[in-house]
């Protein structure tokens, strides 16, 4: 009797099936709530459609070199900025190459600013080799892929910055740090007249930038790639000279013979470096890469070349990429003593040579470990956005980030594109719309974390309050 009374005071225990349903529903609700809290606010169907549409509109502006339509791109981007109440200015550090600078003022002006950099120009495309016209921004309905030149490199990132700010504005976020967005020209042809002149300008110095985000690469896997440095381009021309001779004559020291000895020495060095990559000992960005880009020799004739005359001059052009931790003195000795020795009547000239060091004589890299609070913030922001960073890398080519690292400013190369083949500069470049939208959420998390961080402050306002 006593047992029966106790059971009647807990009615659900008398109906096990109802209790099971209640507990199951509660567990499901808790799991869903936890998942939503981790994932953050998702896009509604209308928001997703509008964000993708704006991306497509930007992609349809033909900003390909050598004649990019910068004016239309700047008008479009400025309209987006106006809709978000961002301050905007246009600078021309070089004639005909406008740089758009947007600003969201922070609550604490003494904090160093966050700069979100992207370039507006893209490389040319060959329309006949694409499944869709390269500036149509066609959305394939069966896959969700958006095909366009610049979809990966790097109009996606520029628009993702803006869309992330749109979401932060809607959530009434107020940044402590000032947030700048720079849309620079010229990157695809070297960047010197765009980000190069910008970083060296008095305007940039007054901005008090503390950290920079710029472009990275797509990742075929689940993890997102991030870059803390990049290889410096050394564009080298080697010339060989020798006495001209009859095409049938055998003799030592001809220009072509001397040059071919150098080419073979370069080939052996390249193979040794490439073997390290193939064996997994080093990543591509950690070795010195050398590639022949042209060979020039021979005596021209109306029908081609004079075939019975050995030329007196010959030259080869090399694209060398040097990682920031390389022994550059040893490499230069190799060039002078092995690749172009004067004893073989050879000379060399650098057409373009970027230092691997910053202006303070240190390797131009950004610390990607726990010694750098920006790195720790980046990792944490990625976790909150349900993303994971891969091992930090040296970028195998060059980006505008180098102009900022050169001045000792931390800069990370990062393009949130997982599960995506690397197609920058290739045919049929695309980005899936879902990956694009996910990237917006990731940037929202990163920008919020960076713009709220106060660890490096020299906050005179807080000191005054104290």
Catalytic center residues: 121, 187
The side-by-side arrangement of strands in the sheet containing 145-147 is 138-139, 145-147, 430-432
Cβ-based neighbours of 176, under 8 Å, separated by 6 or more: 106, 107, 108, 111, 451, 452, 453, 454
| Residue 427, annotated as binding a ligand | no
Strand partners, 122: 64
Closest CA to 324 of 259, 398, 273, 423: 398
256-283 burial: b if 16+ Cβ within 10 Å, else e:
bbbbbbbbebbeebbeebeeebeeeeee
Query: At residue 158, what are phi and psi to the nearest 5 degrees?
Result: -60, -45
Is 119 annotated to bind a ligand? Reply is yes
Q: Is 425 annotated as a binding residue?
A: yes
Q: Is 352 annotated as a binding residue?
A: no
Q: CA 147, CA 416: separation in Å to the nearest integer?
A: 17
Residue 123 neighbours by CB distance under 10 Å: 16
- Asked if residue 400 belongs to a known ligand binding site, the reply is no
Q: What are phi and psi of 187, to 5 degrees?
A: -60, -40
Name residue 39's beta-bridge partners: none
CA nearest neighbour of 291 among 269, 313, 319, 267: 319
CB environment 287-320: b (16+ within 10 A), e (fewer): bbbbeeeeeebbeeeeeeeeeeebbbbbbbebbb
Pairwise CA distance, residues 156 & 169, whole Å: 20
Query: Residue for token digits 């800069």?
Result: 411
Task: Output the known binding site.
Answer: 119, 153, 188, 215, 425
Task: Output the known binding site for Zn(2+).
Answer: 119, 153, 188, 215, 425
């Amino acid at each position: 009797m006593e047992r029966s009374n106790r059971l009647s005071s807990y009615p659900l225990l008398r109906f096990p099936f109802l209790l099971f349903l209640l507990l199951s529903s509660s567990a499901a609700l808790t799991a869903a709530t936890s998942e939503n809290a981790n994932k953050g606010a998702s896009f509604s169907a209308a928001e997703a459609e509008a964000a993708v549409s704006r991306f497509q509109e930007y992609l349809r502006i033909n900003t390909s070199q050598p004649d990019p339509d910068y004016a239309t791109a700047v008008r479009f981007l400025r309209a987006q900025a106006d809709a978000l109440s961002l301050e905007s200015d246009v600078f021309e550090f070089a004639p005909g190459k406008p740089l758009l600078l947007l600003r969201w003022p922070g609550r604490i002006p003494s904090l160093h600013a966050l700069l979100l950099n992207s370039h507006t120009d893209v490389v040319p495309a060959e329309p006949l080799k694409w499944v869709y016209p390269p500036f149509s921004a066609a959305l394939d309905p069966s896959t969700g892929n958006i095909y366009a030149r610049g979809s990966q490199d790097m109009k996606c990132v520029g628009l993702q910055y803006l869309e992330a700010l749109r979401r932060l504005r809607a959530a009434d976020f107020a940044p402590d740090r000032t947030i700048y967005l720079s849309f620079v020209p010229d990157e695809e042809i070297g960047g010197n007249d765009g980000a190069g002149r910008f970083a060296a300008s008095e305007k940039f110095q007054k901005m008090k930038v503390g950290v920079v985000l710029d472009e990275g690469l797509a990742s075929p896997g689940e993890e997102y790639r991030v870059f803390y440095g990049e290889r410096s381009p050394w564009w080298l021309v080697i010339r060989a000279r020798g006495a001209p001779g009859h095409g049938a004559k055998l003799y030592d020291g001809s220009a072509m013979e001397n040059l071919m000895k150098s080419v073979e020495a370069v080939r052996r060095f390249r193979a040794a470096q490439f073997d390290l990559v193939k064996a997994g000992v080093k990543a591509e960005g950690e070795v010195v890469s050398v590639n022949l880009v042209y060979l020039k020799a021979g005596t021209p004739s109306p029908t081609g070349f004079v075939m019975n005359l050995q030329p007196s001059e010959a030259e080869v052009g090399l694209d060398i990429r040097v990682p920031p931790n390389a022994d550059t003195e040893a490499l230069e000795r190799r060039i002078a003593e092995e690749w172009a020795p004067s004893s073989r009547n050879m000379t060399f000239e650098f057409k373009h040579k970027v230092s691997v060091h910053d202006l303070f004589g240190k390797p131009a890299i950004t610390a990607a470990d726990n010694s750098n609070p920006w790195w720790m913030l980046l990792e944490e922001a990625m976790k909150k956005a349900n993303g994971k960073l891969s091992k930090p890398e040296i970028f195998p080519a060059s980006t505008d980030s180098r102009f900022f690292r050169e001045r000792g400013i931390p800069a990370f190369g990062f393009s949130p594109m997982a599960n995506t083949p690397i197609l920058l500069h290739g045919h049929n470049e695309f980005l899936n719309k879902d990956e694009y939208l996910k990237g917006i959420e990731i940037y929202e998390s990163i920008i919020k974390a960076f713009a709220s961080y106060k660890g490096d402050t020299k906050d005179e306002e807080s000191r005054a309050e104290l």
